[in-house]
Each structure stands twice: as C-alpha cells, then as structure tokens.
Structure 1
C-alpha cells in the first residue's frame, strides 16, 4: 500500500489553515522510496512559497544528530558511553561532588543527569561549551543522578559537545559535519545559523493574539548554548537521510542488517544503532511523546508497535520525525509556526492513511470516577525561571504556571496562566488548553515516598517540590 499524496497534501493544507501555520514540508521514506511535498509560504511578509528544498530549524531534533556523532566517536575510540565525564574533562565540577565523579555520557544522552541548567550566560563565542562546563561548578541537582528522566534542553548535550571537542580536537560543529552530515550526504544541513542559505530558509512565526494571526518570530534563533541540542537547520530530504540510519533493521534488535556486520556506506555499526535504540529509561509522563527515552531518540508505543521519534521546536519552528523500523518507513513534518503536538498528530494520521502501519495514539481521557486526595499534590514545583502551583478547590485540582519575565513577554505579558488538572490516574493528569491556540497537555505528579508528590513532570521537564 502507498500514500495517497494528493489526499495527504490537501489534508495538510486544510490543517495549516485551521492551525494558522504558514507552511509545512513533508517527507516520506518507505521501502527505500522517497516522496516529498510542501504547502504554504515560508514567510508571511513576502508570500514566498515553501518548497521541498525549504530549510527549517529543527530545534531539539539536533540531539539525534549529536548522539549519532558521539556514537561514531565511540566506534572510533576517543570516547565511551560509560566512562566518567572526568575521563575527558578532569576539571568537571558540580555542587554534588559524587555526581561530578560518577556522571557518564550515557546519562547525558538519556536525560537522567539531574543537573540544574545553571550555566549563566556563556556568550556566543566558539568557547561557549567550555564556558558552560566551567559555569556549572556550583550547579545543584534537580534530582539524584539516574533517579528519573528529566529533559535537559541545553546543558546535557553541551557537556557532550565539550567532551567531543576535547577528545576530537575540533569544534563540535566541525565534528558533526565530518562524522554525520558528510557521510549521510546532508548537503543542505547546517549547525551554525549564519551558514544557512537565507534564500531558502523558512521564517519562524508565532501567533501573539487570535485576531492577529501568525507574525515573524521575535527570536530569530536560539542562543548558542543550545547548539548541540537545538541549532541544526535542515530539509525534509536530509531529515529522512537521518532516519535512514535506523531503518532496514526490521526493528531495533532483529533483521538482516542488525545481525550482519557494518555494511559499506553505513554510518554506524549495527551494534551501535541497537545501542541507541535499545538503551532506554522510563519517562514519568508517557503521553506527550512515549513511555521511554533512548540515546538521542524517543521511544513511542503506537497500538503496541514501537515507533521512534525525534522532535524539536524553536520559537517559530517545529520539526517532527517518526521512524517505523518494522515497516521500513519514516515520516517527517517541518513547519514554521503553529501548535506542536496536535497538528503533527493529525498530519501524521493523514499521511499514514492507506498504509499498513500503526496510527498515532488517541490522547488520553480523564477518569471522572477517580477520587484523589488533593493534599498529596498541592504545593509549589519550581525550577529557575519556571514555577508551577498546584492548588485545590474542593476535590478538584488546579495548575498555575508563573513564567519568567522573558517567557511572559513572549506570551503577550501574561504573568500567570491557570488550568484545570483532570486525573487520568493517580499520577497522570490531562491539562486542557486555556485558549484555542494551545494544545492539550499532560503531566505527571509522582514519587510519593514521603506522602506527597515530590516531582512535577511536564513537557518532559522535571520540577521538584519547593521553591527553586
């Protein structure tokens, strides 16, 4: 069975209008065949049309590229997954000396380090990752090393980048280009914003108010501190080349390619690919993406089938990739605006129509019969820059988000957003949107060792109980 491209194109166009997203580029790799299409405009101010060659910011999808480069360096010999970070960075220091001595690259790759993102302002120079490592000498732990999954948007992969620079004797972006971009033939992929072909680049867009519609993002690109975890720009064809590393195995642990030795032209040996896909930790909130996190990959469960994901967002761009090893299939959707999850799920569903492959799972539904003790959840959960308050009105729970001033400005000056918390289970909650431009969210309130929830896990990030 094949994708009905015209039907998929029409459906994506309808979704762009519904979600007020300027454009989307879609790429499908199925059985070795690649199909691409684009809809919309790459900049609302110019009306320039998006094409399959339009370049989008990939945000945290960058982490998969960086993970691949690190695994290639493991094969080449200068680094290893389970040696302490101090093997390469002997000066590495944290507030908790035991964590500083024990931390390994594997824990950075799967987001279980627990280190607070307290790296200050490391600047925009090429020494940014060395500065970040130096700046976290007093960084506390959000949670004990390896205790839970807590997504690190910048710091974890910046430490990895510094290890790569010291072990490889070159800047992170040069290593990434040499070890991944060039072997995969990703000629349109860059990890420095100023190297992007501006004539083909999509402009990021945000919706500041329902009446205004999408406008160019006030933030052109993320700070350089996010480079190894968020600076890649790419096209749908090059994203599919990334996905190809994980295809052809019939799943992460089976298939001829997985059993055989490394073939000619393969980026990684099959054992390294299996390591990336099979080394997993549980995610406290399994509903946003999936129940587990591997090395640079998210592990999803779609109707009992394992689907791997690599997703990313910047302020104005969203990148989504789903890899179906059992079906030799990969789909990517790149956009320059709009909500992240609901649009992507509906776009994937439209593209998968007619294919013998699992479809995106339905969002979880609250259990109206569930009766919880509010006292177990009420409290403040915070990290520097972000604070949540869980309160009770009778037996109903409410969530308040108190963003920092920078995020408040992006949100149009709002300094407090309030939501209902609808229980799915004793530890998981549905968070309905507060206005039409938001997606529904889910969160976990968990770890009741002392009778009350110790952590709030939302958008893959962990917030411990008590003020930061």
Structure 2
C-alpha cells in the first residue's frame, strides 16, 4: 500500500470521526510512507502538512525517559539510588519520597506517586518549584509494589535530568535527543523567549449536541513539560521510532542497545490494567499477534498522539490528530492495517456480555482516591453502577469485577478498569482504571492498605 492509499484512508476516517486534521507516518520493509489530511484549526486554519506540529501529550514521556537513560549510560544518574541523593529537598528518610523513590520506579510508573499534582501558585511555572512542593505527597503503595500511571513522577524525572545535565529540560532534550534525530524542537509550554517558534495545531472536541468540532485553548503548564510538553509531527515520531529499532545506523548512538532494551523490557510489577499489556522504563508494551509491540499513547487539550514500533519486524507507525475523537480515528487505522495483514499491537477494552449472569456490585460502591483525584462509584437510576469523575460514566461490570466505563455524551472509546479485593480481608479497597490506581477513601482521608 502506497502513500495515496494512506492519504485516502486518513481523510475517510477524519471525516467519519469529525477530526479536523491528522497525520500518519509508517515504516515497513525499509520504506517510509506519509499521509496528511485536513486543517490545523477547524474552518480557517492552514492545511496540515508533513511538517505541521501536533501536541504529543504523554508520548513526551518516551523522550524524557530516553534522555534520562542517556544520563544513566554516562554514569550521571543511577537507576536504583533513592532520588534524595540528587534532590535532598525531598528528604532521605524511610518515610520521605526522596528516601524510597528511584529513577527506575519513576520511569516505570511503579513509584506509588499519584497521577496528577497541582502545586498551585508560582510552582506551576517551574519544574524545580513543582518538585520541591512534592515533598509531602503520600504514596499509594510502596515503590516497586504495583503500577499507577503518574505524570508527577515524570516531572520528578525531568528535574533529575535538569540537575544532572546542568541545563533546563527543554535545552537538554533538544541537544541530547531532538537535534541529533533531525527533529525541529516544538513545545506546548516553554519558559524560554524564542520568537518565531514552531506553531502547534489547535486541539478540538466534539460538541455532543451540535456534532460540530469546537476548538480548545491549550492549558499546558511549564511545570508539566517533562510529562507532556513536547509537540511535533508524525514524521518526527517516525524518526524517534527508527532510532529505537536501529533502522538508521547514524541514529543508533542516541541510546545504546542496553538502554533501548531497558525501555522495552518488562519491569516487575508494572502491569497497567486498562492501558497496556505491560511497561518498561518509559515505553508501553502492547500485545500483537505473536509478538510484543512498544510505544506510547498521548492526549492533550483536544489532541491525540500514538506511536508503535516492533524491532524484529522493523515496523514503525505514528499517528497524530487535533481532536479528542482522534482516538476513534486511531482505532480505524489499526483495524484497516490489520485487515491488510499488518497487525499492530494495541490494547482493547474487555468485552463484557450485556446478557451475562447478574453480578453483585454493591461492595464496589464508594469513593476511591488517587492523591487529590476522587472517583465516586454509585448506583444509577437504572440500577447499574456509575463512575463520577469530571463526567459521569456508565459502568458495565463482569463476574470478575472487571468493568468498562462509557460516556453517553461523547464518542470516545470505553475505558477499562477493575475492582480489586484485599487478599487478607476480601474487601474491595482498590480500583484500577486506565492504568491509574485509586484506593478506597474514608471521608476525606485516604485509607492506606499497603
């Protein structure tokens, strides 16, 4: 299949799912193919080109992890030394974050840190101030014991990079990774004054009633940059993927074989239910047909971004969009490639039969906390369970307490999760959804079960 086919496919999927603009880059059998469609901003934006920049969202984490492992390779950071050795402000005692969290647990989301942290005030404008505000955070579980996706953890990793490199995260990522890969730097939030920077496509959401896409203002904050502040094109992501599979000899020096292996190898305990099959140091693991694929997914202020690669098959796929409904477009790309014989690894929500035996879900009702984030599970008017976060989701729960969560107001794919019993008490004290763990709360106090 050549580039015209992918251009047609991308245009068809974008129109079907109300996506204003999208890019695709695919490398198979030594040949790259590119496709673009639509506008950078609905109605009046410039046409999407191969060079157009889209927010990478959490795919940024794969870049941050690569730079961190470059510093590990050079002997500047040790993966298993508590981070208080580098950031003494976080405390070095057994009850301090700095005394128990390591770079390995940060990059694999096994640190026990909460998913999000809003320090407020001046701290949002500085990675360093953000990190110092983390000292009093409580861990969800002992580091290394389990998986819970954490943006806060990657901000900490970004500050470690700053300290060891002697420069800001932005300058370090540019000099050690982006420029060697031939990627023109672009960021969604950048504290440096740089006139004429590379603009980023506007994100959009789909109005549930009018079925029209609506632009979304970017809410990107400087302090979150190491977790989600990069932007670029699908072609840029392809360059990163080519370096990861060793397809371009001059790019193999970006990270040595040992570092690339650590990014892909399964970390003990890093099993993100509802997100991927497993996790390495900075990369997700996705099960394909007979082999494991690697990459990352990201969403950010009305944009979506996806990267997959398979080193043995020497295949790389990248897709960027500027709409929340880009998740549906991504599913369509995967489905069409699968029908054409290219089965790209991905995560699919479990299928829970609508007519299965009744499940007693009364013990699931309650509040679950992940830092300041609170999920409320309640009984809906129809007798089924609902999950209330920023929006109300309908839950379909299976016999093993696995569930899917869907929003009747959006066209986004269902989220996957499960309720987990404490093996000692049999009590449901944990909920996992989209790779994030939340413990049952008692009033306003989070119950620490580990």
Q: TM-score, normalised by structure 1?
A: 0.85
Q: Which moved more, 1:196-205 or 1:59-68?
A: 196-205
| Cα shift at 1:84 | 1.1
- Of 417, 421, 430 in structure 1, the residue corresponding to residue 404 of structure 2 is 430
Name which of structure 1's ranges 391-400 and 321-330 shifts more when overlaid on structure 2.
391-400
Find the counterpart in structure 2 of residue 223 from structure 1: 221
Q: 2:300 aligns with which of 314, 334, 355?
A: 314
Pick closer, same or farther for the CA change 1:418–1:237 going to 2, 3 Å: closer
Asked if 1:323 is matched to 2:301, the reply is no
Cα offset, 1:175, TM superposition: 1.1
> How far apart, in 2, do the equivalents of 1:420 and 1:76 lie?
48
Distance in 1 (CA, whole Å) between partners of 2:161 and 2:365 is: 43
Following superposition, the deviation at residue 323 of structure 1 comes to: 0.9
Q: Tell me if the contact between 2:65 and 2:282 (Cα under 8 Å) persists in the aligned partners.
A: yes
Partner of 2:75: 77
Determine the structure 2 residue equivalent to 1:129.
Answer: 127
Which aligned pairs between 1:8-19 and structure 2 lie closer than 5 A? 8-19=6-17
Asked if 1:456 corresponds to 2:442, the answer is no
Question: Cα gap change, 1:390/1:142 in structure 2, threshold over 3 Å: closer, same or farther?
Answer: same
Query: Where in structure 1 are there 5+ consecutive unaligned residues?
Result: 250-256, 404-415
Match of 2:291 in 1: 305
What residue is the counterpart of 1:166 in the other structure?
163
CA distance in 1, matches of 2:290, 2:269: 16
- Residue 63 in 1 paired to residue 64 in 2? no
| C-alpha distance in structure 2 between counterparts of 1:10 and 1:422, whole Å | 38
Q: CA deviation at 1:190?
A: 4.3
Mean Cα deviation higher: 82-91 or 96-105: 96-105
In the alignment, is the contact (CA less than 8 A) between 1:119 and 1:133 conserved in 2? no
The CA distance in 1 between the partners of 2:45 and 2:189, in whole Å, is 26
> 2:241 aligned to 240, 243, 246, which one?
243
In structure 1, the partner of 2:24 is: 26
* Equivalent of residue 374 in structure 1, options 348, 352, 361: 361
> CA 1:395–1:451 in 2, change beyond 3 Å: closer, same or farther?
farther
How far apart in 1 are the matches of 2:185 and 2:169?
Answer: 18
Residue aligning to 1:268: 255
Measure how far apart 1:267 and its partner are: 1.0
Residue equivalent to 2:335: 349
Q: CA offset at residue 417 of structure 1?
A: 1.2
Any conservation in 1 of the 2:18–2:212 contact (CA below 8 Å)? yes
> How far apart, CA to CA, are the structure 2 residues paired with 1:418 and 1:297?
28
Summarize deviations over 1:180-219 as a string: whole Å, max 9, x none.
Answer: 11211112544745759667531111223330511210x3
Following the alignment from structure 1 to structure 2, what is the Cα–Cα distance between the partners of residues 15 and 435?
20
5 Å-filtered alignment, 1:271-310, equals 271-282=258-269, 286=273, 288-310=274-296
In the aligned structure 1, how far is the partner of 2:137 from the partner of 2:381?
39
Cα distance change of structure 1 residues 44 and 198 upon mapping to structure 2, 3 Å threshold: farther
In structure 2, C-alpha distance between the alignment counterparts of 1:169 and 1:293, rounded to whole Å: 29
| Correspondence 1:118-197 to 2 at 5 A | 118-121=117-120, 123=122, 128-153=126-151, 155-190=152-187, 192-193=189-190
Conserved 8 A contact 2:90-2:96: no
Q: Output one character per residue of 1:3-39: Cα deviation in whole Å (capped at 9) or x when no partner.
A: 3433332232222122111011111122332211101
Give, in whole Å, the separation in 2 of the partners of 1:320 and 1:306. Answer: 16
Equivalent residue runs for 1:90-105 within 5 Å: 90-93=88-91, 97=95, 99-105=97-103
Count of residues in correspondence between the two structures: 438
Larger mean CA deviation between 325-334 and 130-139 belongs to: 130-139
Contact 2:352 2:397 in 1 (8 A): yes
Taking structure 1 as reference, are residues 465 and 264 closer, same or farther at Cα in structure 2, changes over 3 Å only? closer
* CA separation of 1:199 and 1:86: change in aligned 2, threshold 3 A: closer
TM-score, L = length of structure 2: 0.88
* Residue 43 of structure 1: how far off its partner (Å): 1.0
Tell whether 2:382 aligns with 1:391: no
Which residue number corresponds to residue 400 of structure 1?
Answer: 387
Q: Distance in 1 between matches of 2:380 and 2:212?
A: 35
Partners of 1:434 and 1:238 in 2: how far apart? 35
CA distance in 2, matches of 1:463, 1:361: 21
Distance in 2 between residues matched to 1:460 and 1:176, nearest whole Å: 26
The 1:340/1:13 distance shift into structure 2, 3 A limit, reads closer
Q: Is the 8 A contact 1:103 1:145 kept in 2?
A: yes
1:373–1:395 contact (8 Å) kept in structure 2: no
Q: State the 1:141 CA deviation.
A: 1.7
Segments of 4+ moved more than 6 angstroms: 393-396
Which string of whole-angstrom CA distances, capped at 9 and with x for unpartnered residues, describes residues 403-433 of structure 1?
Answer: 2xxxxxxxxxxxx51413231x514212233
Distance across 1 between alignment mates of 2:327 and 2:90: 37
Secondary structure at 2:334 match in 1: helix
CA contact (8 A) 1:20 1:338 kept: no
Please state whether the residue corresponding to 2:374 is helix, strand or coil: strand
